[in-house]
Chain A
């Protein structure tokens, strides 16, 4: 379960503090529910996701994570001078998988389809290879809730199919909070929805209702 209490967020700009992006977001996200974040561009979807993931921090308010929560899938930090394998090792160690390190590395190498490139420095990778590695790394661990920002778009067609299948399997056993621009992707994976509008968040048990409410806000 994730409890978000009265979260406010604004970014620093070159000319002083910017406008408030999140203004008092209150949410309780249960485990085992797949939920999509809906809102127009700049409504703060990615910001909220980053705050939930603990990468960014709210100016006010707090987030409690009462479960094992992933980092934003496909956005795991990579150190460019190290090889894919070294980066993967680092992330395994961070998550306390020193003992079963070899199996996880095999999984990551297999799933990412990087083959020999897994032992080349990450700064020699193409952007597709990078995102394949990042996606494979996020699937290598068991989390209670995954968070995902536009992750299904990574890689070439063959990889996308594989990723979509793995993604579907994962969403069946764990919770998911996702941001995606395509409505069909959201409908495919999520049952509940959160609408972000004017800095506030509203929870809908059915994602269709969230879409309906979203369309109402757009027409206004």
Chain B
């Protein structure tokens, strides 16, 4: 009788296999899929920078507007792509659950790590290009930038986990969540400087942890950036960690329903 593999080894084998499979799918799924992964944020950034500079806005809160948009956009993309990829992780890997070794959480983990990996490369390319174009885009506190982005990534995973279970239990949630995603772009301060928003509305917007993450990432880039008062890294991480915790509990409880017919 063949010896049973150590469960941990099985998990590592599964994670590796799914990671490589997901990477293939994400990068070469359609013609030049990898190109569009890069072009989507580039176009968003380019368009906004164009609009901002045309209306003669060169700085936002003491920061170069191009870099301001780049940092915010990349951080937001990191959150959104992780969230969306994780949301559909189980759904788009259904054929893989024929293999007993694959558990519902495995594709989630593979996708989240892959997304962080891809967004790091994309961010380096875009920020590097900005530096070559003469913008001052060296982060002045790189650790703060990483910390904020890591928090957004965690929150993306948590959001995705909870969203995928909700969608499985109540299929209509898919529409609701899609509708929710759209204004998120606006109210998280990707385009609109949060500092321009008066009280009491600012406090309402700051309930959104993504806004904290974006502003903190920017604060790490510019030493003299006028941030919004009341930013808190702890708040972002509290959302991220409790989101993941809630998501994992839901997976534990509903894992079979996610996979079972």
| A56 and B260 form a contact (CB under 8 A) | yes
Find chain A residues with CB under 8 A from B95 CB: 77-79
Cα separation A142 to B5 with both chains bound (whole Å)? 13
Find chain A residues with CB under 8 A from B18 CB: 90
A149 CB, min distance to chain B CBs, angstroms: 12
| B96 and A93 form a contact (CB under 8 A) | no
Contacts of A12-70 to chain B: CB distance below 8 A:
12, 31, 53-57, 67-69
A34 CB, min distance to chain B CBs, angstroms: 17
B220 CB, min distance to chain A CBs, angstroms: 38
Is B175's CB within 8 Å of the partner chain A?
Answer: no
Query: Which residue on B lies nearest to A142, using beta carbons?
Result: B2
| B98 and A72 form a contact (CB under 8 A) | yes
Chain A, interface SS category: loop
- Contacts A68-B2, A78-B95 given; does A53 touch B17 at CB 8 Å: no
Binary flags per residue of B92-116, CB closer than 8 Å to A gives 1, else 0: 0011111111100000000000000
| A90 and B20 form a contact (CB under 8 A) | yes
Is B40's CB within 8 Å of the partner chain A?
Answer: no
Query: Which residue on A lies nearest to B17, using beta carbons?
Result: A93
- Contacts A68-B2, A71-B100, A76-B98 given; does A95 touch B13 at CB 8 Å: yes
Binary flags per residue of B8-34, CB closer than 8 Å to A gives 1, else 0: 011001101110110011000100000
Chain B residues touching A, range: 20 to 34
Is A91's CB within 8 Å of the partner chain B?
Answer: yes
Cα separation A31 to B10 with both chains bound (whole Å)? 22
Cα separation A82 to B94 with both chains bound (whole Å)? 14
Find chain B residues with CB under 8 A from A31 CB: 1
B4 CB, min distance to chain A CBs, angstroms: 7
Cα separation A93 to B106 with both chains bound (whole Å)? 14
Query: Which residue on B lies nearest to A87, using beta carbons?
Result: B21
Q: B9, B102, B256, B260: which contacts A96 (Cβ < 8 A)?
A: B9
Cα separation A96 to B4 with both chains bound (whole Å)? 11
Query: Which residue on A lies nearest to B96, using beta carbons?
Result: A77
Is B178's CB within 8 Å of the partner chain A?
Answer: no
A197 CB, min distance to chain B CBs, angstroms: 24
Q: B20, B29, B94, B98: which contacts A93 (Cβ < 8 A)?
A: B20
Find chain B residues with CB under 8 A from A143 CB: 2
- Contacts A68-B4, A77-B96, A77-B98 given; does A94 touch B25 at CB 8 Å: no
A63 CB, min distance to chain B CBs, angstroms: 10
- Contacts A75-B98, A77-B97 given; does A57 touch B29 at CB 8 Å: no
Q: A53, A71, A77, A86: which contacts B24 (Cβ < 8 A)?
A: A86
Cα separation A173 to B13 with both chains bound (whole Å)? 26
Find chain B residues with CB under 8 A from A90 CB: 17-18, 20-21
Cα separation A81 to B21 with both chains bound (whole Å)? 11
Is B56's CB within 8 Å of the partner chain A?
Answer: no
A95 CB, min distance to chain B CBs, angstroms: 7
Given contacts A75-B98, A93-B13, 19 further A-B contacts (CB under 8 A): A31-B1, A55-B97, A57-B260, A71-B98, A76-B99, A77-B96, A77-B97, A81-B25, A81-B29, A82-B24, A91-B17, A93-B17, A94-B17, A94-B102, A96-B9, A96-B10, A96-B13, A98-B13, A98-B16
B-to-A contact residues, CB < 8 Å: 1-2, 4-5, 9-10, 13-14, 16-18, 20-21, 24-25, 29, 94-102, 256, 259-261
- State the 4 A-B residue pairs at the shortest beta-carbon distance, nearest first: A77-B95, A93-B17, A54-B100, A77-B98
